[in-house]
Amino acid sequence: MTQKLSTTNHDRHVAGLKYVYPVISRRAGGLSIGVNFNPNNACNWRCIYCQVPDLQRGNAPDMDFELLAEELGFFLDYVQHGDFFEQFNLDVDQRVIKDIAISGNGEPTSLKDFDKAVKLIGDIATEAGIFPAGKFVLISNGSLLHQPAVQKGLVELHRHGGELWFKLDSATVEGRKLINNTGQNQQKLLQNLKIASRLCTTKLQTCMLHYRDQVWSNAEKQAYLELLREARKQEIKLQKVMLYSLARQSFQPEADELAKVSLDEMNSFAADIQALGYDVGVSI
């Protein structure tokens, strides 16, 4: 454990553990303790900007709950009472755990016992005194929110004061097919957003990027704004919209054709979203 952490280094194996890894997160604003439910690099979507090598279609494998508990307990103690910050050369202002984030190398809600895993993580982190100063975050594409175990997991997340970062990279069917390689329709998207917002604090997480001049066009931006208007009409409560762009290398076939969106363009779009009454954050 001698390398320096940064927003461009999200190596899932940096701590030498199966499930737990540290990152410096742009959106969290500092040290995030990640929990990877998908060590098999399997996901039900295939986002063209995904940084996971050898990504495959599929679900999370069965969880070794005893190992997860052992790793998380060990790592939290290492950060709180060991020499973690010195080992990884973290700046003084980054020497605090901003959150524990269920994320990783695929869609975490595809885990069979998702609710059990959320409860385990929440209980261990609470006992270690991480919450409420630090956040409990689930990063998800939101596609499996119709499943009972996922909904129970969101209830557990909420019980620990947690929040869902719901991926929305396009507000059109065509855009999601191009960016995320999913056929998710508008009705399903809105249904899942409604389920999420009623069960726990929900934020939208949106990656803005350029790809063959086909994504994040003016038409895409207008569709996104219209979706936010529709969400408001349906009383879907979104606490925040988080915009960001590319920071790390994609390992997908489209990688060489991707380009990050400028800060000026993101700020301009953020202003349009704010005009609708939403809180917006921009990360570079």
- Is the pLDDT at 8 greater than 90? The verdict is no
Q: What is the mean pLDDT of residues 107-115?
A: 97
What is the second-level CATH architecture of the domain 20-282?
Alpha-Beta Barrel (3.20)
The 10s digit of each residue's pLDDT in 190-200 is 999 999 999 99
Joined together, the tokens standing for residue 202 give: 């929900």
CB 101 within 8 A of CB 28: yes
What integer pLDDT is reported at residue 14 of this predicted model?
A: 59
277 vs 24, which has greater pLDDT? 277
Give the contacts of 17 (CB within 8 A, at least 6 positions apart). 71, 75
CA separation (Å) from 174 to 127, 178, 210, 223?
45, 6, 15, 11
Residue 255 clears pLDDT 50, i.e. is over it? yes
pLDDT > 80? residue 213: no
Q: How far is CA 79 from CA 90, 94, 126, 269, in A?
A: 11, 12, 15, 38
- Return the minimum-mean-pLDDT range out of 15-29, 131-145, 198-212: 15-29
Mean pLDDT computed over 162-168? 97
Taking a C-beta distance cutoff of 8 angstroms, is the pair 205, 27 a contact? yes
DSSP-assigned states of every residue in 7-48:
TTB--TTTTS-SSEEEEEETTTTEEEEEEES-TT-EES---T
- Which structure tokens are listed for 110? 């595809």
Query: Is residue 83 predicted with pLDDT exceeding 90?
Result: no
Residue 9, pLDDT score: 44
More confident call, 29 vs 228 = 228
Provide the pLDDT for residue 87: 82
The gap from C-alpha 130 to its chain's centroid, in whole angstroms, comes to 19
Which of 19-23, 91-95, 184-188 has the lowest average pLDDT? 91-95
- 73 burial (CB, 10 Å; 0-12 / 13-18 / 19+) is middle
pLDDT higher than 90, residue 215: no
